Amino acid sequence: MSDTDYNFAYLDEQTKRMIRRAILKGVAVPGYQVPFASREMPMPYGWGTGGVQVSAACLTPEDTFKVIDQGADDTTNAVSIRKFFEKTAGVAVTEKTAEATIIQTRHRIPETPLTEDQILVYQVPIPEPLRFLEPRETETRKMHALEEYGLMHVKLYEDISRHGEIATAYAYPVKVEGRYVMDPSPIPKFDNPKLESAALQLFGAGREQRIYAVPPFTKVVSLDFEDHPFDPSKAPHPCALCGAEDTYLDEVITDDAGGRMFVCSDTDFCARRRGEAA
């Protein structure tokens, strides 16, 4: 069982109820950012405090928990969050996507398709997709209320006029169920098609104090134009380790002479493929 100095999953019950109510309202209004009273967590803002609070509110002792950071299970952020819940909630942890019931992620969606029995929890730095276009919260709130998203299309249009294509490669804005424009967190746009999933997806922004959700099978459309359709581009290489041609790749510098290789960013997916090949 967990360390008895902590309440189950670290947070006190009153805080969990508050977060749980926000999650349920987020589920009821897909893509709408529900304000919540984000707590200080024993890690700095920017390290996934929002995701950790959502995970803490969702975890049960029977869950199997997985954490990825840019697709990898073995980076500092992923390891420390996994250890945090191992200690405070006593949950089983795994690096295998298929075995996890709750997956907390920073900036990737696993390559392995998710199932109905899984919940994907995103760590979100800036939840407001319009924030870089309009800094005032009072104004962006009004824009969401009025469904006034012209500014976002102007931004995408200016991309095309300047670069010949939409130059947004990550945190690519989407429209959820035909109503709210949503920031899918800084996942590569390669992952956008995977936002329509059998799994429930929850988004937590700790510093910005927002929770939002995409229920299973919700319609999620990446914004585009008829003559410039959305393109979930990828690097034109196979993975140098497992040979996969349909995954998102990281470019890794291998020496000081310009040597480089492209490898799967999803370490579990890549390791499993190499295991099968061996």
Q: Which residues bind another protein (CB under 8 A)?
A: 7-9, 13-14, 16-18, 20-30, 32, 34-35, 57-61, 116, 141-142, 144-146, 177, 179-180, 198, 200, 213-219
Catalytic residue, from 48, 204, 206, 264: name it: 264
Instruction: Closer to another protein by CB, 61 or 135: give it.
Output: 61
Active site residue 31: yes
Active site residue 270: yes
Catalytic residue, from 50, 71, 206, 239: name it: 239
Catalytic residue, from 71, 258, 270, 275: name it: 270
Instruction: Closer to another protein by CB, 12 or 165: give it.
Output: 12
Give the nearest distance from C-beta 103 to another protein in angstroms: 15
Catalytic residue, from 31, 50, 51, 206: name it: 31
Active site residue 58: no
Q: Tell the residue number behind the tokens 């429209």, with chain if given.
A: 175
Give the nearest distance from C-beta 45 to another protein in angstroms: 23
Count the residues in the chain. 278
The secondary structure of residue 122, as a DSSP letter, is E
Give the nearest distance from C-beta 13 to another protein in angstroms: 6
210 closest CA partner among 238, 192, 185, 178: 185
Give the nearest distance from C-beta 21 to another protein in angstroms: 6
Instruction: Closer to another protein by CB, 192 or 265: give it.
Output: 192
For residue 101, count other CB atoms closer than 10 A to its CB. 20
Give the nearest distance from C-beta 271 to another protein in angstroms: 29
Instruction: Compute the C-alpha angle 62/68/70, nearest 5°.
Output: 165
Determine the residue type at 12.
D
For residue 226, count other CB atoms closer than 10 A to its CB. 5
Instruction: Compute the C-alpha angle 194/111/196, nearest 5°.
Output: 15
Instruction: Closer to another protein by CB, 124 or 166: give it.
Output: 124
> Do 88 and 54 contact (CB within 8 A), yes or no?
no
Instruction: Closer to another protein by CB, 12 or 74: give it.
Output: 12
> Do 137 and 209 contact (CB within 8 A), yes or no?
no
Instruction: Detail the DSSP E strand segments found in 54-146.
Output: 64-69, 92-93, 102-106, 119-123
Q: Tell the residue number behind the tokens 């969702």, with chain if given.
A: 58
Give catalytic residues, as residue numbers: 31, 239, 242, 264, 270
